[in-house]
Structure 1
Amino acid sequence: MYLRRLCPNFVKQTIRTYGVAVPKKSPKILITGGLGQLGVECAKYLRGKYGRDNVILSDIIKPTNDVVNDGPYIFADILDFKGLQKIVVNHRVDWLIHFSALLSAIGEQNVPLAVRVNIEGMHNVIELAKQYKLRIFVPSTIGAFGPDSPRNPTPNVTVQRPRTIYGVSKVHAELLGEYYYHRFGLDFRCLRFPGVISSDPPGGGTTDYAIAIFHDVLRKGHYQCYLKPDTRLPMMHVRDALRALSEFLEAPNEKLIRRVYNVTSMSFTPEELTGKISKYIPELQITYKPDSRQDIADSWPQVFDDSEARRDWQWKPEVDIDNLVSLMIKEVKEKIAASR
């Protein structure tokens, strides 16, 4: 350590010449809204990379024993700024992953609460990140686009006029994060995810039919879809979503031309997904009864253009629709068996 302080250039040259390994400190990561759609799986994924105790899951919900046993879990209310400050200081947090949000269909049922959680909560965490010089990741969504946006494909930069409070709040988050990056140098990073599909029960998103169909078909043999059979939407398996998040967080700042990127894996319709599932479950029955979520889906991208993410930080999906269906049937069967 004394030599490193005295002759830093000599030490760097020695490392280059003799290949001496200098341990890299793992970041301390706080995940807000951790018991939502992505939080628990994200914590498992990042704990595998950075160590169990370096990833802190948080929410305002009482966790299950499995969540508590898997790693650190704390209470965190994103509307309580002083409480968040205390967590960051006491746990020496380096990175903040902000998942707390009300999703599209749920947000439309309680707009005032969605404004508080999605917009006021965002104000708190971004100011927190600025104050403590944190790297902050905030997910965005296909819902950040609207009926005036090109839908097939939807490029990274285009008109955004969403018609849900969820989408409005995500556009607000994107612009606020970019402003804090340019104004204060905040290391803000954001990915616009398509529908993310995992074995967890659906959480109130418009794309969640692609999760619900597996649960209902495997439990009851039939599913009633709330979207029309030809409604095309971009999707990805949670495995690809978490890998994209992790690779993006680790990407050097100098590689990032933007602070907000589209990412995706595939696009399909309920009819196409049903056709793939029927290869495993030929007797499945599906009916269609579109509801208010159809209007939301009709305003969203059909195909996402993520060429900029592929170019700038070498994003590349691994799970296609065939892999997705086989994975989901296996994972949902295991989840159903475990719940009995």
Structure 2
Amino acid sequence: MKILVTGAGGQLGTVLTTSLKEKYGKNAVIASDIVKIDGYEGIFELLDATDEASLTKIVAAHNVTEIYHLAAILSANGEKNPIQTWDVNLKSLFNVLQVSVNQKIEKVFFPSSIAVYGPTAPKIDTKQDAYLDPTTVYGISKAAGEHWAQYYFLRYGLDVRSIRYPGVVGYQSLPGGGTTDYAVDIYHKAINNEDFTCYLREDACLPMIYIEDAIRATLEIMEAPKSQIKVRTSYNLAGVSFTPKEITASILKWYPDFKVVYTPDFRQNIADSWPASINDNPARKDWNWKPNYDLEAMTKEMITQLQKQE
């Protein structure tokens, strides 16, 4: 097994690459990104995933058998340059899918997002087959990507697997330009005894997931027998839903003097178009998904781990 990870320097990629090396061995994983990852230990390749020739060269040179394609521009940053976001997100995915067919890759992982949902979808307990009408270019690119993933499975038999991540909360890296990233930054401000300015309303409820659950879900869907993967667009994935007010309350148990000010900006409009809670019954049924972390457990782990870094 030889695994290529694109976007390995991002919030999810950093932790996933480490987990893959721990599971399959350091020499089985090729990390790649558009810039060098400082201090990275293991096999690393500079790669712009929008360059098909470069991707092909790396896949062939390392005899890659699986690709985890994480390279993308996220929701909030994506709205600053919509055309670039569309080009990067879709061109890199097309390259991964086509190179995988040409090079006979065994499995591909493509991360989707709750951003594929829009105002038409029910806000509460949003189901797997709810209508997709995304209002951000990031969400549009992910919705399109889901259908291309399914197309390559149906047309070429390419084993593409995908999950729709909620907001991912982790201590291993700083926020990367997503609408849900306030739920990472808020912990950093708390342990540094700084006030926090939140760009969402205090009652803006969004689906979230702790990084350990997100990584475990990714490994579990990729390890599941092919016959168990019934959804070939992307599986809903639920962790825990909460508001800025609720996450603040959980932090106040650790830092009673912590102060939060709410000044909603354009990211509130994005949040308003997304679900408040997700129904992930197909993932639970097909490959036995179940989250381990609720809000209190997540806060305890985030604060404990960040304190160690001080």
- Residue by residue, what CA displacement relative to the aligned partner does 1:104-141 show, whole Å, maximum 9, x if unpaired? 01000011211221011111111111112221101000
TM-score normalised to the size of structure 1? 0.89
* 1:109 alignment partner, one of 72, 77, 80: 80
**Counterpart in 1 of 2:109?**
137
* Secondary structure at 1:221 match in 2: coil
Larger Rg belongs to? 1
* 1:258 alignment partner, one of 221, 224, 231: 231
Q: How many angstroms apart in 2 are the aligned matches of 1:131 and 1:235? A: 36
* Secondary structure at 1:158 match in 2: coil
Query: Match of 1:328, as an amino acid?
Result: M
**1:218 aligned onto 2:176:** no
**1:290 aligned onto 2:264:** yes
Displacement, 1:235?
0.6
Displacement, 1:332?
1.8
Asked whether the 8 Å contact 1:142–1:192 carries over to 2, the reply is yes
Q: Which has the higher helix share?
A: 1
**1:325 aligned onto 2:299:** yes
Q: How many angstroms apart in 2 are the aligned matches of 1:62 and 1:262? A: 32
Alignment of 1:238-277 (within 5 A): 238-259=211-232, 260-277=234-251
* Secondary structure at 1:300 match in 2: coil
* Secondary structure at 1:79 match in 2: coil
**1:165 aligned onto 2:165:** no
**Counterpart in 1 of 2:165?**
193
* Secondary structure at 1:123 match in 2: helix
Q: How many angstroms apart in 1 are the aligned matches of 2:100 and 2:168? A: 26
Query: Match of 1:205, as an amino acid?
Result: G
Structure 1 alignment gaps of length 5 or more:
1-26
Asked whether the 8 Å contact 1:221–1:283 carries over to 2, the reply is no
Count of residue pairs the alignment pairs up: 307
Q: How many angstroms apart in 2 are the aligned matches of 1:194 and 1:41? A: 16
* Secondary structure at 2:79 match in 1: helix
Q: How many angstroms apart in 1 are the aligned matches of 2:48 and 2:165? A: 24
**1:204 aligned onto 2:177:** yes
Give me the identity figure in percent: 41
Displacement, 1:62?
2.2
Runs of 4+ in structure 1 deviating by more than 2 angstroms, as ranges, are none
* Secondary structure at 1:138 match in 2: strand
**Counterpart in 2 of 1:12?**
none
**Counterpart in 2 of 1:125?**
96
* 1:62 alignment partner, one of 23, 36, 39: 36
Displacement, 1:322?
1.0
TM-score normalised to the size of structure 2? 0.97
* Secondary structure at 2:192 match in 1: helix
**Counterpart in 2 of 1:306?**
280
Asked whether the 8 Å contact 2:190–2:251 carries over to 1, the reply is no
Q: How many angstroms apart in 2 are the aligned matches of 1:287 and 1:229? A: 9
Q: How many angstroms apart in 2 are the aligned matches of 1:301 and 1:244? A: 20
- Residue by residue, what CA displacement relative to the aligned partner does 1:224-263 show, whole Å, maximum 9, x if unpaired? 1000001110111110000000000010111111122011
Structure 2 alignment gaps of length 5 or more:
none
**Counterpart in 2 of 1:21?**
none
Q: How many angstroms apart in 2 are the aligned matches of 1:298 and 1:334? A: 35
Q: How many angstroms apart in 2 are the aligned matches of 1:78 and 1:120? A: 8
Q: Aligned pair in 2 of structure 1 residues 262, 175: CA closer, same or farther (>3 Å)?
A: same
Which protein, 1 or 2, shows the higher relative CO under an 8 Å CA cutoff with sep ≥ 6? 2
Query: Match of 1:241, as an amino acid?
Result: A
Asked whether the 8 Å contact 1:98–1:125 carries over to 2, the reply is yes
